[in-house]
Amino acid sequence: MAEKVGVYVCHCGSNIAGMVDVEEVARWAGQNLAEVVVARDYKFMCSSLGQAMIEEDIKKHGLTRVVVAACSPHLHEKTFRRACENANLNPYLCQLTNIREHCSWVSTDRAKATLKAKAMVAAAVERVKKQQSLEPAYVEVHPATLVVGGGIAGLQATLELADAGYPVYLVERRPSIGGHMAQFDKTFPTLDCSACILTPKMSEVAQHSNVTIFTYSELEEVSGSVGHFKVKIHKKARYVDEAKCTGCGICVEKCPRKVVDYDFEAGLGYRKAIYTPFPQAVPRIPVIDTASCIWFERGKCRACEKLCPTGAIAFDQKDEHIELTVGNIIIATGWELFDCRRLPQYGYGRLANVFTNMEFERMCNASGPTGGKIVLRDGKTEPKSVAIIHCVGSRDVNTNEYCSAVCCMAALKFGHLVMEKTNAEVYSFYIDMRTNQKGYEEFYQRLLEEGMHFVRGRVAEVTDAARRPEEEGKLIVQVEDTLVGKQRRILVDMVVLMAALEPQRDAKELGLKCGISCSMAGWYTERHPKLDPVATMTDGIFVAGACQGPKDIPASVAQGAAAAARVMGLITKGTVMIEPVIATIHEELCSGCRICNNLCPYNAIEYDAEKGVSRVVAAMCKGCGTCVAACPAGAITGAHFTNEQILSEIRGALWDAHAPAPAPAPTEAPAPAQVVSGS
């Protein structure tokens, strides 16, 4: 049956009409393209009058297909689809062709641009004739949410959801929730104690009846899709029975093995082989580190087991794999610290009194390894001068090009703490001071008044090789002071490197499990950098906190809450729409070769061994069409981008290039289309 196609060519004021002869395009389409019954041009197709014109034509002429030649489908596809829907035409029977961005705006020759616009309209007409009605599907949303990462962003998201009355599973890789914020001493710019504001949130989460916490656990597997994800959690054995342990700490006290704590204490302090990372840890249940435990090393000791008053030590505990169903997933896996050894010119690891920012945080912390005293590596000498070097591993083409966002403010905080706790002079070596949040600039001004020295320039090296007698025994910071235009050698006792925030090393791996991608730098990619910063390209998966990019605490909290709000929106609505632009496999044509199975990045194609065919899980398919192009049997159809549709579009686009194919003789002479100029 012949289709009845309506063609609508937009002037867009003079945006299109200024370079393309739109009247000619409409006239030509009406007279030359088969099955076109109406062809009009109009000043602004997207205006309510333009849309009404289309709706009216659909009703009056019984149009079965609509082509709008206007701007980018990313701008107005929805507008015209809605217009069609209003006139009871399936929205997927409307095709937009972009003669503004892709034609009039980029061309300089009116005749050639008009020819191109004709080809684009012809392509759209040929395509639209092959288009099919599609109906979106709806799935129910499971009310539970999985939050991955128990840092401040994850905690905030968990609390928001739990307080709203929805169940939350919180997964944390380390033995305790709290994240990096638990390691800090003070928070900028208010200088309130980090633990004082964090630990109440931690215990609130722990005691919340809607929250189930899995610490020392990792997300192992994700399947399913928005509304009903099936997730598998790998709960590592902590060798302590959580039901019996009271957190008294006798086992930790009596454990004879002491090792350097590279994780929580950043290598500055020690912990036992059985340990809780810090006193306020949640849960307060210790773990046994099998790499350092004497029992696991040589089969002796078991002191903890003998002394535990409740018999909670369980050396035979096994890893668990827990399966859960959740409707949405919030990824809040945070960041890790740049390894300063990658920049040998700053001497970290070689020069004893060069510290990282995280070591310095622990040093300032009253419950840290030095009890809050700022001292050199020998553990007792107070420094007389301290250098703070900014942008170590940030804003550097050799390491990371991005700005780590938090280091300027952290450096100011360190400067304040040094001056508060010691009599030392503090030098800050910066490229640009970035203090662009509420109260930050004021804090910078405060530090200027407190007498912190600021030297603008990237430090060339930190060395202990003295050139003059007074340099003996000091660390020398070699820097070009770019405000003075001079090379300077500044003598200090201690250097603090403001190491960059980097993505978690396994961020990509986790991203692959969840079907979300990372930027070149390794941060998770949000759906839109400005307008959709917490959603990802995979429906039902959200990101929060520094895993999406370097962020300070307020921004992480805001994003955690935002992600929770988005999840709540889905849960409250109850169902989600699934785009019908997906692939389907025709079982009669499928040979079961399974080539498509491994091509799908979302694992949306499953193999039915019994029938010997592959099948697409509709809710998981994102409609990229790679499997469609790869199927050797042509058994896969990509809805709305079928082979037939695209091949027709190619033929239409090349209407003026090929020798006209012998078309079947029309049974009756087609009536010439009605061509109207609306302007």
Q: Which residues bind another protein (CB under 8 A)?
A: 72-74, 98, 100-103, 105-109, 112-113, 115-116, 119-120, 123, 511-512, 515, 517-520, 525, 537, 581, 599, 601-602, 622-626, 628-630, 638, 641, 643, 646-647, 649-651, 653-654, 656-659
Nearer to another protein, 219 or 675 (CB): 219
Up-side HSE of residue 601: CA atoms within 13 Å toward CB?
Answer: 14
Cβ of residue 653: shortest distance to another protein, in angstroms?
4
**Pair 363, 355: CB distance under 8 Å:** yes
**DSSP 8-class letter at 586:** -
Are the beta carbons of 93 and 58 closer than 8 angstroms?
no
Distance of CA 303 to the CA centre of its chain: 45
Distance CA 320, CA 299 (A): 23
- Whether 570 contacts 144, CB under 8 Å: no
Cβ-based neighbours of 363, under 8 Å, separated by 6 or more: 268, 355, 369, 370, 372, 373, 374, 375
Residue 508 beta carbon to another protein: minimum distance, rounded to whole angstroms: 10
Nearer to another protein, 199 or 645 (CB): 645
Q: 267: Cβ–Cβ under 8 A, 6 or more apart, which residues?
A: 260, 261, 359
Min dist CB 71 to another protein, Å, is 9
Q: Shortest distance, CB of residue 98 to another protein, whole angstroms?
A: 7
Q: Which of 95, 100, 1 is nearest to 54 (CA)?
A: 95
389 within 8 A of 498, measured Cβ to Cβ = yes
Toward another protein, which CB reaches closer, 172 or 502? 502
Closest distance of CB 602 from another protein, Å: 8
Tokens standing for 614? 């592959």
Q: Which is nearer to another protein, 109 or 432 (CB)?
A: 109
* DSSP secondary structure letter of residue 641: S
Give me the least distance between CB of 624 and another protein, in Å please. 4
Report the C-alpha gap between 101 and 111 in whole angstroms.
17
In the bound state with another protein, the residue whose beta carbon lies nearer, of 182 and 582, is: 582
CB of 673 to another protein, least distance (A): 23
CB 485 → another protein: shortest distance, Å?
A: 36
Kindly tell me which of 561 and 627 has the beta carbon lying closer to another protein: 627
Asked if 2 and 61 touch (Cβ cutoff 8 Å), the reply is: no
Closer by beta carbon to another protein, 308 or else 329: 329
201 or 622: CB nearest another protein:
622
* Nearer of residues 289 and 649 to another protein, judged by Cβ: 649
Nearer to another protein, 341 or 528 (CB): 528
**Cα dihedral angle (234, 240, 241, 243), rounded to 10 degrees?**
-100
Tokens of 212: 């189930």
Concatenating the DSSP letter of every residue in 21-50 gives: -HHHHHHHHHHHSTTEEEEEEES-TTSHHH
The least distance separating another protein from the CB of residue 470, rounded to whole angstroms, comes to 51
d(CA 354, CA 293): 31
- Nearest approach, Cβ of residue 563 and another protein (Å): 21
C-beta separation of 335 from 499 below 8 A: no
β-pairing, 65-70 vs 5-10, is parallel
Looking at beta carbons only, is 469 or 632 nearer to another protein? 632
Q: How close are the terminal C-alpha atoms of the chain, in Å?
A: 33
Shortest distance, position 625 Cβ to another protein, whole Å = 3
**How far out from the chain centre does Cα 409 lie?**
24
Please give the DSSP secondary-structure letter assigned to residue 433.
-
Other Cβ atoms less than 10 A from the Cβ of 72: the count is: 13
